[in-house]
Each structure stands twice: as structure tokens, then as C-alpha cells.
């Protein structure tokens, strides 16, 4: 039994180079022929951040004091920390329904590990997330917050969000292969999720009757965790973090089970 477990681990480790090669090819294909290339993952969110900051702070006079008490820098910093988490999930939700359909040639290869195809979507989205987090750290330091030691806990703070992304990728890619209309629904869902999450406003500003609803928004969990470790210099509440980890881990496990159950029928609909 122990040797069988070691063999499974060895087989999974052998897939890492393949996974990396697929992610790199996906990223290169996405930016092939563009002038900015990977720079679009920086330029696009920063442009939207500038627009939202102008509208909310200059026109609507919204205020969101940062940890250093500077309203002028506080709003862009806090808003951007939410935007990069939303962009990560949004890219997965938008791309996952077509992940299998676009790679139909792999589906017909019996020896190809099909469970990797949705993971490629998460890997590609993670690259933009990493770039966004680096910019966030630079912005936080420039706002006078300094570099907090809690930033070292950023991978752990993001772990529930990464598991959520994996679960969404497996589930949506499986459903999207059979129900093509889902790709039209995801655009609306991404927009609704943006305004239903504490991105442009603090979670404390949500009316009391809706606070309980916000607690069930998994995107809000990741946003608040990033704000804690990067901008506020504190660790997320350990009890909340473990609860979030358990929920997202269960969701990813169930989604993987659904994916494996139906993957044998992918070739029939492609």
C-alpha cells in the first residue's frame, strides 16, 4: 500500500513539467502578436484603477483611509487589492467553460491527463495575480505603510482563493463542455461579483442586514486576507481562515469528483 502511494506521488510529480509547458504555451498564445505582451496584465487593471479612483474620489468624493491615514493613497491601495483578486477569479470563470472545447485534440489522446487542462487555466490566471501582488506591495510601500513581516504569509492567505479557483475551473470546464450557454452567463456573473464584493467599498460600509450575505461571498474572503497581510500588517483571523480553507478545499474536491465522473464523455460531444 505504501509503495502504491509512492507511485502515485511519483506520477503526479512527473506531470509538473508538462503542466508548466502547457501554462507557458497558453500565456504565449494569449499575448502573441501584441505590443505589450504580459504588460497588459499590468496596464489594464492600473487603467481601470485610475478611472475608478477618479470617479469615486474626485467626482463622488468617496473616502477610504488607508493604514497610514492618507485618503489620497488609501483608496487606490485598498481598491487595487480587491481588483487583483477579482481579476484572478474573473479570468478563471471566463476561460474555464471553454477549456476542454479549445483543447479537443488532447481529449482524444487516451494517455493524456485531462484533469490538467482546467489547472492550466488557473496557472495562467495566477501569473497575472502574481504581477498584481508585486505591484500592490510596491504601492503599499510607496504609500508609507512599509514592508510588513506579515507579507511572508501571503501564500497562506491566498490558499483558500487558489483552491476556489481550482474548484471553479474543474466545475465550469466540465459543465461548459456539455452546456455551451454557460459561457454567456459567466460574463454577467463576473460583473455582478465585482459589485457584490468589497472592492470599491470597505466591507464595514455594507448595511447590517447584508453583512451576513457578504460572509458567504468567497471572493470577499480572499480580498480581506490580502488587505490584512499587505496593507494592515496583521494576520487574518485564524478561525476564519481555517473555515475558509475547509470550505474551498471541499468545493475543489467535489468539483474534481464531478469533473472525473464526466470526463469520459468529453470526446462524445466534441
What contacts 24+ positions apart, CB below 8 Å, involve 130-133?
131/38, 131/41, 131/42, 132/41, 132/42, 132/45, 132/80, 132/83, 132/84, 132/87, 132/88, 133/84, 133/226, 133/230
- Report, as an integer, the average pLDDT of 16-26: 81
Tell whether the model's pLDDT for residue 201 goes beyond 90.
no
Give the confidence band of 48 by pLDDT, cuts at 50, 70, 90: confident
pTM across the whole model: 0.86
Q: What is the pLDDT of residue 9?
A: 58
148-193 pLDDT tens trace: 888 899 999 999 999 999 999 999 999 999 988 887 888 888 988 9
Q: What is the pLDDT of residue 68?
A: 47
Residue keyed to cell 464531478:
258
Give the confidence band of 69 by pLDDT, cuts at 50, 70, 90: very low
Cβ-Cβ contacts under 8 Å for 68 (sequence gap 6 or more): 74, 143, 144, 145
User: What region, left, alpha or beta, does residue 96 occupy, with left being phi > 0 and alpha being psi -120 to 50 degrees?
Assistant: alpha
Rounded CA-CA distance 65/194 in Å is: 21
Q: What is the pLDDT of residue 205?
A: 79
Domain ranges of the chain: 36-264
Rounded to the nearest integer, the mean pLDDT of the chain is 82
In sign, the C-alpha dihedral spanning 200, 43, 189, 116 is negative
Amino acid at each position: 500500500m505504501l509503495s502504491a502511494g509512492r507511485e502515485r506521488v511519483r506520477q503526479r510529480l512527473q506531470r509538473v513539467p508538462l503542466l508548466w509547458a502547457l501554462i507557458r504555451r497558453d500565456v504565449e498564445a494569449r499575448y502573441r502578436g501584441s505590443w505589450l505582451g504580459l504588460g497588459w496584465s499590468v496596464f489594464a487593471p492600473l487603467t481601470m484603477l485610475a478611472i475608478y479612483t477618479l470617479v469615486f474620489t474626485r467626482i463622488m468624493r468617496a473616502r477610504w483611509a488607508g493604514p497610514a491615514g492618507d485618503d489620497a493613497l488609501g483608496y487606490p491601495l485598498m481598491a487595487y487589492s480587491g481588483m487583483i483578486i477579482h481579476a484572478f477569479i474573473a479570468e478563471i470563470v471566463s476561460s474555464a467553460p471553454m477549456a476542454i472545447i479549445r483543447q479537443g485534440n488532447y481529449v482524444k489522446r487516451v494517455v493524456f491527463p485531462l484533469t490538467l487542462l482546467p489547472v492550466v487555466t488557473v496557472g495562467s490566471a495566477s501569473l497575472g495575480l502574481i504581477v498584481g501582488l508585486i505591484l500592490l506591495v510596491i504601492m503599499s510601500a510607496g504609500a508609507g505603510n512599509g514592508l510588513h513581516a506579515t507579507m511572508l504569509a501571503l501564500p497562506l492567505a491566498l490558499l483558500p482563493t487558489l483552491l476556489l479557483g481550482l474548484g471553479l475551473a474543474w466545475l465550469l470546464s466540465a459543465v461548459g463542455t456539455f452546456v455551451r450557454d454557460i459561457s454567456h452567463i459567466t460574463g454577467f456573473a463576473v460583473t455582478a461579483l465585482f459589485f457584490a464584493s468589497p472592492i470599491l467599498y470597505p466591507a464595514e460600509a455594507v448595511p447590517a442586514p447584508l453583512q451576513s450575505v457578504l460572509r458567504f461571498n468567497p471572493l470577499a474572503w480572499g480580498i480581506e486576507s490580502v488587505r490584512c497581510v499587505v496593507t494592515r500588517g496583521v494576520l487574518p483571523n485564524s478561525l476564519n481562515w481555517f473555515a475558509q480553507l475547509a470550505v474551498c478545499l471541499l468545493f475543489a474536491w467535489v468539483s474534481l469528483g464531478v469533473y472525473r465522473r464526466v470526463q469520459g464523455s468529453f470526446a462524445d460531444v466534441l
